[in-house]
């Protein structure tokens, strides 16, 4: 793999800021996703019990055109919660887009910095760090993990995304081929030549048969970032956890735990530790394009507050009434995600509890007067929390 310099990286993203975004689109939609959703962050990093009256000090490391920045700033603004966000990126073109998006939304509390995430600790100590789509593009990814760890407050957490190998089949031979053919060309020349070559590829090429890859169809920046990046190394879950460990960090959780549980495919996997199970699931599914994880300082254990009376559940992507009606009628929760379908048996009695989930009521309040609530709610947690459809947090959105 050819190693690109910081100058090469900067040239790419000055020419093709990624992902492509129009600041005026902020008037009609908010781009959201994991990580860096406040409720999800709280669930995995702070046991659902963070004091949101205290300012959240955030670093968006390698912020690109601003998706994570805008998401987090807007959601915290909507919730009336204080924050201080530092945006850090090498590309001035990307920074300008992120700044304009924030201006359209009238978001404040943001400091914009042009620089390297390797210098993250120079900008302070942070309660939360977002770093998505960056570490796998560094000449030495471990230096990036180390830099993030150095900038993380003792009780803080990180939400990060790195590429995974299996779901990106076909990408890396093309990156190598384009690197050989187009070395030394300016970004716009590289793109023009690469598009012409791509059109001549046989339909049987592994890349063209990989239906999960779509960035190359979504604009010049997407094509360039996917197929013309000359520094791109994916991580298996095992490799990711090893990099975290070397940086003094540890895995805190993943947004959809059920996807990393192999037993739906294999039956009981006795004798395997947690990481081995996750790696087995990755290898068997064969479709992960990325790994999105939350991490914290090694040795700091803060589990999600499953079943605790004071915990406040929030539903994600589902209406409580509609879900309650479905459970009452079928006794099941069925979830389709990432090309897989999961079905969980849930007692119909759980419908009454689900109707009370509003992001403000505690489990004690939800269960008040409901017979057998504790046992019923355990089934709800097993389905919804494993699917990333329910999290615990005291923030009121």
What string of pLDDT tens digits covers the 397 residues of the chain?
A: 344 456 777 888 999 999 999 999 999 999 999 999 999 999 999 999 999 999 999 999 999 999 999 999 999 999 999 999 999 999 999 999 999 999 999 999 999 999 999 999 999 999 999 999 999 999 999 999 999 999 999 999 999 999 999 999 999 999 999 999 999 899 999 999 999 999 999 999 999 999 889 999 989 999 999 999 988 999 999 999 999 999 999 999 999 999 999 998 999 988 899 999 999 999 999 999 999 999 999 998 899 999 999 999 999 988 999 999 999 999 888 887 766 778 888 899 999 999 999 999 999 999 999 999 998 999 999 999 999 999 999 998 7
Is there a contact between 284 and 259 (Cβ–Cβ < 8 Å)? no
Confidence (pLDDT) at 4: 45
Going by C-alpha positions, the residue among 202, 212, 210, 230 that lies closest to residue 170 is 210
Question: How far from the centroid of its chain's Cα atoms is residue 196's Cα?
Answer: 33
Q: Which residues contact 37 (CB under 8 A, 6 or more apart)?
A: 71, 75, 316
C-alpha–C-alpha distance, residues 188 and 158, integer Å: 35
Is there a contact between 385 and 313 (Cβ–Cβ < 8 Å)? no
Whether the upstream peptide bond of residue 109 has omega within 30° of 0, thus cis, is no
**Helix 220-227 and helix 171-182, axial crossing angle in degrees, nearest 10:** 100
Question: In DSSP terms, which residues pair with 228 in a beta bridge?
Answer: none
Instruction: Give me 277's structure tokens.
Output: 């199970």
Going by C-alpha positions, the residue among 73, 151, 62 that lies closest to residue 109 is 73
Question: In DSSP terms, which residues pair with 344 in a beta bridge?
Answer: 333
Residue entry with tokens 């959240």: 56
C-alpha–C-alpha distance, residues 140 and 303, integer Å: 32
Count the neighbouring beta carbons within 10 Å of the beta carbon of residue 83. 23
Instruction: Give me 314's structure tokens.
Output: 């929030």
CATH of 6-166+232-297, one of 3.40.50.10490, 3.40.50.150, 2.60.40.10, 2.40.50.140: 3.40.50.150
Instruction: Give me 313's structure tokens.
Output: 């559940």
Tens of pLDDT, residue by residue over 290-302, are 999 999 999 988 9
Residue ranges covered by each domain of the chain: 6-166+232-297, 313-392
């Amino acid at each position: 793999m050819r190693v690109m310099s910081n100058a090469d990286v900067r040239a790419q993203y000055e020419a093709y800021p990624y992902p492509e975004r129009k600041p005026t689109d902020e008037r009609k939609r908010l781009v959201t996703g994991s990580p860096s959703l406040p409720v999800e962050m709280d669930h995995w990093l702070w046991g659902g019990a963070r004091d949101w009256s205290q300012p959240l000090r955030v670093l968006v490391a390698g912020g690109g055109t601003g998706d994570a920045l805008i998401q987090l700033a807007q959601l915290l603004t909507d919730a009336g919660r204080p924050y201080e966000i530092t945006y850090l990126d090498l590309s001035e073109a990307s920074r300008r887009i992120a700044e304009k998006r924030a201006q359209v939304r009238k978001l404040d509390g943001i400091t914009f910095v042009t620089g390297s995430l390797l210098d993250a600790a120079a900008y302070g100590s942070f309660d939360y760090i977002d770093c998505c789509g960056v570490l796998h593009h560094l000449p030495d990814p471990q230096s990036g993990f180390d830099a993030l760890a150095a900038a993380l407050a003792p009780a803080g957490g990180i939400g990060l995304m790195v590429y995974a190998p299996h779901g990106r089949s076909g990408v890396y031979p093309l990156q190598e081929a384009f690197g050989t053919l187009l070395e030394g060309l300016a970004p716009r020349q590289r793109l023009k030549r690469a598009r012409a070559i791509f059109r001549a590829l046989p339909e049987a090429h592994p890349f063209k048969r990989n239906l999960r890859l779509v960035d190359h169809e979504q604009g010049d920046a997407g094509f360039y970032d996917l197929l013309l990046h000359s520094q791109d190394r994916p991580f298996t879950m095992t490799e990711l956890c090893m990099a975290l460990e070397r940086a003094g960090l540890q895995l805190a959780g993943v947004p959809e735990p059920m996807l990393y549980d192999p037993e739906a495919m294999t039956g009981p996997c006795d004798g395997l530790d947690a990481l081995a199970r996750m790696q087995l699931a990755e290898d068997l599914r064969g479709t992960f394009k990325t790994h999105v994880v939350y991490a914290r300082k090694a040795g700091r254990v803060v589990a999600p507050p499953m079943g605790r009376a004071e915990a406040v559940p929030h539903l994600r992507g589902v209406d409580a009434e509609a879900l309650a009606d479905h459970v009452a009628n079928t006794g099941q929760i069925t979830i389709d995600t990432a090309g897989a379908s999961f079905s969980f048996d849930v007692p119909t009695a759980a419908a009454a509890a689900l109707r009370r989930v509003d992001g403000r009521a505690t489990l004690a309040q939800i269960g008040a007067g409901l017979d057998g609530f504790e046992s019923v709610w355990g089934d709800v947690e097993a389905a919804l929390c494993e699917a990333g459809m329910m999290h615990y947090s005291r923030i009121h959105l």
